[in-house]
A and B are shown apart, each in its own frame.
Chain A
Amino acid sequence: EAQVTQNPRYLITVTGKKLTVTCSQNMNHEYMSWYRQDPGLGLRQIYYSMNVEVTDKGDVPEGYKVSRKEKRNFPLILESPSPNQTSLYFCASSLAGQGTDTQYFGPGTRLTVL
């Protein structure tokens, strides 16, 4: 089954404790991206990747890191989480960039930083 998976689905952590949210797709997609969704602010892009070793900033990259060492994986790293990073996070992938292909979204990761 074609899908985008994220782990963990729920996470409660404390300020400053490094964490990684994994994202994996099994569709051989080149384009992957991360978003956060907050009430009243909608969905905002954090980072995107056009292919292995190619990443770029979205609208809200501060406080986040990403890496794309393999085509299928695109982890989101919070080196020192803060309460303002409490949010619902989505990973997505598509065959290519340019918005010409269907974006497939993961199920979301609800993160709470205390």
Chain B
Amino acid sequence: GIQVEQSPPDLILQEGANSTLRCNFSDSVNNLQWFHQNPWGQLINLFYIPSGTKQNGRLSATTVATERYSLLYISSSQTTDSGVYFCAVFTGGGNKLTFGTGTQLKVEL
């Protein structure tokens, strides 16, 4: 099956810093989404981004499907950004969802 790898696996930032999270996938995909799992375990959808660039406040994402990667940018990080960030790709006709390995982010004061 498809392999979805994220880097870095762990990241510690000072509040106000910027960061880039990467998601690489091993095969062509129907779609890609980014999620945030907060420290209490809740999973929140951030972006649906099969290609191109989208922005939502301090977060933006870019997917280059032909090169099989996606990037999530976090600017001016805040402590509430802490948690695990997952990318997930849709394959198998678009209905099967495979999650990446995740990036654990900690933002410190």
Contact = CB atoms under 8 A, between A and B. Distances in A.
Contacts of B42: 105, 107-108
Nearest to A98: B94
Contacts of B97: 33, 45, 48, 58, 99, 103
A35 B88 CA distance: 12
A43 interface: yes
Interface in B1-59: 1, 30-33, 35, 41-45, 48, 50
Interface of A: 31, 33, 35, 42-45, 48, 50, 56, 58-59, 88, 90, 92, 97-105, 107-108
16 contacts: A31-B95, A33-B97, A42-B101, A43-B88, A98-B94, A99-B30, A99-B33, A99-B90, A99-B94, A100-B48, A102-B45, A103-B33, A103-B35, A107-B41, A108-B41, A108-B42
